[in-house]
Structure formats: structure tokens, C-alpha cells
Amino acid sequence: MKNKRRILGIDPGSRLTGFGVLDFVGDQPSYVASGTVQSPDGSFPDRLKTIFVAVGEIVDEYRPDIVAIESVFMSRNAGSALKLGHARSAALCATFAFDIEVFEYAPREIKQAVVGTGSASKAQVQHMVVSLLQLSATPSSDAADALAAAICHGNQRALRARLGSRSIVANLR
């Protein structure tokens, strides 16, 4: 039997944080769970605490080997980018006590890996996640983005494994 790896994908947000858990055996993903963490109305520190606690509970329940998280992208509104960075940090900090490997991917990189274009719409990402994972229902856009992050990492990992020592020639190592 090939090595099974459990990947937790996270799509951070200060209001909604998506999560998706996939098991990969070789390069074949299988769906485990997904959903969103909804932060309450109220103070920003309370919303960050909600993200921190919820992601910690998700990690404790599903015990992933790897976390794949979307990196912060620069938006036109610096305040929004800062809030996104704080939410992302709250989610990441929740994983540190579990000693899990963390990998970051740009939103365009995730879309490219799942849809084939870095400028894909949320609807296109949802459609491809449903198709690739053979889901019977469409996850929310935040959960689909988190599942896409997990798929992106699983595909990157499989590609690196196939390349093996040849990746030195391609200057990928």
C-alpha cells in the first residue's frame, strides 16, 4: 500500500475561514471533510480567537500530516490585506502545537493547479473540486478554496515524488 497523507487545506478569512481535509494515497485524493468557520460579529480579536480555537479543534479531530494554506495576496485595500493576514496567522498558530508541516500557496497557484488557469472564478474552482473529488454536493466557495489548496499540495507532492533526483536537472530542488 502506498503512503497515505492527510492534508488540511485552509482558506483564511476574517469572517469566513474555509477548511478541507483530504487523504492522498499516492496521487489519488479522497474527501474526508470540509466546511467553514464563521467568525461572530463583534470585536476583531474575538473573531481571531474564534478562528484560532476552531482550527485547533479541526486539527485535533482530523489529525492532518500537512497543512496547505493560501498565502496573503495584495488587495487594493491595505486594511483588508492586514485583516486577512491576521486571520491567516490565527489559523496557522492553531496548528503549531501539533507539529505539522505547513506549505503556502498563492491563490493564483492554487487555481492554476486545480482549474488550469490562475484567473479562475470561484464558481470554476467549485466545479473542478466537485469533479476531481467526485462529490455529491457543491461545497461553499470558502470550503472549495480550502479543498483546492489541499489538492494543489497533493499534486505538487506527487509531482516532486515522480521527478525524484531528476528535479535537480530541472533546478527545482
Q: Which of 41, 46, 57, 70 is catalytic?
A: 70
Q: What would the DSSP string read from start to end of 20-57?
A: EEEEEETTEEEEEEEEEEEPPSS-HHHHHHHHHHHHHH
pLDDT score, position 169: 41
Q: Which of 23, 41, 46, 142 is catalytic?
A: 142
Integer angstrom CA distances of residue 92 from 23, 34, 78, 127, 138: 20, 17, 21, 27, 26
The yes-or-no answer on residue 70 being catalytic is: yes
The yes-or-no answer on residue 142 being catalytic is: yes
Q: What is the CATH number of domain 4-169?
A: 3.30.420.10
pTM of the model: 0.89
Domain definitions of the chain by residue range? 4-169
The yes-or-no answer on residue 99 being catalytic is: no
Task: Compute mean pLDDT per 10 residues along the chain, 173 residues long, and list them.
Answer: 86 96 93 96 95 98 97 78 92 95 95 93 96 97 97 79 48 40
pLDDT score, position 173: 40
